[in-house]
Amino acid sequence: MSYVDEVYAKVVAKNPAEPEFHQAVKEFLDTVRPVIEKHEEEYRKVALLERLTEPERQIRFRVPWVDDNGQVQVNTGYRVQFNSAIGPYKGGLRFHPSVYFGIIKFLGFEQIFKNSLTGLPIGGGKGGSDFDPKGKSDREVMAFCQSFMTELYRHIGKDTDVPAGDIGVGGREIGFLYGQYKRITGLYEGVLTGKGLTYGGSLARTEATGYGLMYFTQELLKINGIDVAGKTAVVSGAGNVAIYAIQKAEELGMKVLTCSDSTGWVYDPDGIDVAALKEIKEVNRARLTEYKKYRPNSEYHEGRGVWTIKADFAFPCATQNELNLDDAKTLVANGVKAVCEGANMPTTLDATNYLKENGVIFGPAKAANAGGVATSALEMSQNSERLSWTFEEVDAKLKQIMINIVHNIDAAAKEYGKAGDYAAGANIAGFKKVADAMMAQGIV
């Protein structure tokens, strides 16, 4: 058996009942195979892949809190400190009922290579809880966040592990978490990113993942001879990533026809109204059923369905495995030209392969959504020098980082005879830097 296949079998055996983690590792190993084969003996001897797929540390803790009825609730908290070869652990916190180690480990594993692709000195980590912020009062969310941080604080720090947001964790949650960290430790330091602008946050961090996705897409399509202006797009999700992806897409001249949340989806033939979407989701924390009140010409449908709408580009921006093989077939039949991932691992493996085989330009999450964490690293830099950069400064840096990522993954794919396979290019380019650092640092 080849080294790659051996390691994959070990990962499955050692991490039972964690299908999302297996999927992320499989997608990675399958595409970096040519690099591994070139160095097989050297890597095998030092168990490089076994070390890469085994988190440096996995933390799991109890999070008790009191709800508005005086009832005690108990959730589970997680932090997986996956790899610190190229910098302090960095990655978001997800609050969603589906969270368990399999989700956090898939996210943490992908984060290692995404963070490497940014070109900035950040290692990979991820955390979260099975807590569901939906329908909770602000006080309940605060009580939960304070209890969560009361355990987490001892494991994190500005130079060791720097969490941020992800699904269910936005500005409100980061604020409560930061306040509690400061209260317990007495330290005013950049231990979290995505902070509010009055207490150390960076301008453009809120917009960064969605904007970055569009800067990435624009450059990727440019090298493929396609202009994004005047094209149509379908987007899934209606959260942080989706909202700012839609905003930037429209600024770049695309018409975005759809968005969705966990209960339904909207089709707006005139293009999604971002101001309405922000009011519904960011201000009122309401459902997409509200959208029709702002835009009578639009349609609201229960369930899922954004991938059935004909468009030039598709941008999955909600969650993992939300675009399956049937969706990929529908998109291809409708003539989609490109799929770029705003969410983490939103496309199933068979769907990804189908898209690639049918000539669809595929921008993988690790590369396409790296703008969020890249801007988090810029927030860390600003915190370290105790300065704040202007929006334009941060945005320009973000844009340049996304352009560099496109060229780096394109070059890596070509170097290994996989021109146009950007998923392979992203994994190879991300992996090489981490592998070099791990080889240099000895058996740790």
Give min distance, CB of 54 to ligand NDP, in A. Answer: 22
Among 88, 92, 200, 346, binds ligand 2IT (CB under 6 A): 92
Name which of ligand 2IT, ligand NDP, none residue 318 binds, using a CB cut-off of 5 to 8 Å depending on partner kind: ligand NDP
How would you write 206-230 as a 3-class SS string?
A: HHHHHHHHHHHHHHHHHHCCCCCCC
* Least distance to ligand 2IT, CB of residue 97, Å: 18
Please state the closest distance from residue 90 (CB atom) to ligand 2IT, in A: 5
User: Is 170 a binder of ligand 2IT (CB under 6 A)?
Assistant: no
Q: Compute the distance between CA of residue 148 and CA of residue 199 in angstroms, rounded to an integer.
A: 20
CB of 264 to ligand 2IT, least distance (A): 24
Opening angle at CA 372, ends 167 and 255, nearest 5: 85
Sign of the four-CA dihedral 287, 293, 294, 296: positive
d(CA 24, CA 66): 36
CA-to-CA dists, residue 214 to 114, 193, 400, 434, angstroms: 16, 22, 12, 26
Q: Is 209 in the site for ligand NDP (CB under 6 A)?
A: yes
Binding partner of 262, given ligand NDP, ligand 2IT, none, CB within 5-8 angstroms per partner class: ligand NDP
> Does the active-site annotation cover 337?
no
CB atoms within 10 A of CB 263: 12
Site string for ligand NDP, 322-361 (x = CB under 6 A): --------------------xxx-----------------
If one asks whether residue 262 binds ligand NDP (CB under 6 A), the answer comes out as yes
CA distance 151 to 10: 31
Bridge partners, 266 (sequence order): 259, 300
Site for ligand NDP in 285-314 (CB under 6 A): none
Contact 202/379 with Cβ under 8 angstroms?
yes
Supply the minimum distance, in Å, between the C-beta of residue 295 and ligand 2IT.
29
Residue from 161, 166, 268, 395 touching ligand 2IT (CB under 6 A): that is 166
Q: Residue 348 in 3-state DSSP?
A: coil
Q: Is 372 in the site for ligand 2IT (CB under 6 A)?
A: yes
Q: Which residues pair with 361 in a beta bridge?
A: 338
- Contact set with ligand 2IT (CB under 6 A): 90-92, 114, 164, 166, 193, 344, 372-373, 376
